[in-house]
């Protein structure tokens, strides 16, 4: 049994269900209490669970993550909201030098089951400080898991999996998808496992690897190519660390061509790592260079026109697929 939910509603439902299931789960962040969060992700939680499990905090990302780490070491499962992913940098030390390393430092005797929710991404006119895609900062760090759902179904299922995981998880939720991505979401306790990609479209000619808000334009571009006789297989990573290498390799065995699409900037984005892994381990299966469609190496502009010019879109992905298929 399922019901139609938006991406944002799915996140809210996952939080509520996990808080009911486990009294050790609590949420904290700026304005997450009676106000219900900057985007409404925590609406209704304060009324149901009260001050002790829905904590409004000062504007200090370092403190929010630091409190979460301390609580996790005492047996709790905090879900910390960064009001915007851009400001996760203020809590960077706590995430990468503390949360990511504690299990290793204690020889496996300690765990840090925290989830850091990070509303990320552009195409919403947010400008310089409210449109970034900082996921590559965290996929570089051992000890973390990094998640980026593209659908309402996955937004709920992956968040539930993240909350139950004994490792720190950085959960990137794309702001553009909050009220635009809608779909059937199971009413029951459906958990989407971390580290497993989803094949959104089958194809034999080109493999397209993407995630988050780029899944929709990638599928649109694949449909255009289909009318030209080129069948594109679209893989949604869902989890960026650890990413599902085997799913990519299985598709590559069929297609021999790979295009990677992400909204983050090109230099040292996850596309660079995926390209390197493919060429190191499956070079003999390639009939063309691995290609990337990304944002340029620049800051998110305030201008809507410039933002649209910078962002990957269906036209840019379609052009890249044509070049790759013809190589």
Pairing of strands 182-186, 2-6: antiparallel
Q: Which distant-in-sequence residues (6+ apart) come within 8 Å of 236 by Cβ?
A: 150, 154, 197, 198, 199, 200, 210, 211, 215
Question: Distance from CA of residue 237 to its chain's centroid?
Answer: 9
Examine the residue annotation and report whether 304 is marked as an active-site residue of this protein.
no
Q: Which two tokens stand for residue 65?
A: 């993550």
Catalytic residue among 130, 140, 174, 262: 130
41-77 burial code (b ≥16 CB/10 A, e <16): bbbebbeebeeebbbebeeebebbbbbbbebbbeebb
Cα→Cα distances 295→62, 126, 209, 237, 302, Å: 28, 16, 15, 18, 15
Q: Which two tokens stand for residue 97?
A: 């030098």
The catalytic residues are 130
């Amino acid at each position: 049994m399922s019901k139609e939910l938006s991406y944002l509603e799915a996140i809210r439902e996952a939080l509520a269900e996990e808080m009911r299931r486990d009294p050790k789960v609590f949420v904290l962040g700026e304005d997450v209490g009676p106000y219900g969060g900057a985007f409404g992700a925590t609406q209704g939680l304060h009324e149901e669970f009260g001050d002790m499990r829905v904590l409004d905090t000062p504007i200090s990302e370092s403190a929010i993550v630091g409190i979460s780490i301390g609580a996790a070491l005492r047996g709790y499962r905090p879900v910390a909201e960064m009001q915007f992913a851009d400001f996760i940098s203020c809590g960077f030390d706590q995430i990468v030098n503390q949360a990511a390393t504690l299990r290793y430092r204690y020889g496996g005797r300690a765990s840090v089951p925290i989830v850091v929710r990070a509303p990320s991404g552009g195409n919403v006119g947010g400008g310089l400080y409210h449109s970034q895609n900082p996921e590559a900062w965290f996929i570089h760090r051992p000890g973390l898991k990094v998640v980026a759902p593209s659908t309402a179904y996955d937004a709920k299922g992956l968040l539930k999996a993240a909350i139950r995981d004994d490792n720190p998880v950085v959960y990137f939720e794309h702001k553009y998808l909050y009220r635009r991505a809608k779909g059937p979401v199971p009413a029951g306790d459906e958990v989407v496992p971390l580290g497993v990609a989803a094949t959104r479209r089958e194809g034999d000619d080109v493999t397209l690897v993407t995630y988050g808000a780029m899944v929709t334009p990638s599928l649109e571009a694949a449909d255009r190519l289909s009318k030209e006789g080129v069948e594109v297989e679209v893989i949604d990573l869902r989890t960026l660390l650890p990413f599902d290498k085997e799913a990519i390799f299985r598709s590559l065995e069929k297609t021999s061509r790979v295009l990677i699409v992400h909204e983050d900037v090109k230099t040292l984005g996850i596309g660079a790592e995926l390209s390197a892994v493919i060429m190191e381990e499956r070079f003999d299966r390639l009939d063309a260079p691995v290609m990337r469609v990304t944002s340029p190496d620049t800051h998110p502009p305030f201008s809507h026109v410039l933002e649209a010019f910078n962002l990957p879109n269906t036209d840019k992905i379609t052009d890249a697929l044509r070049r790759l298929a013809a190589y």
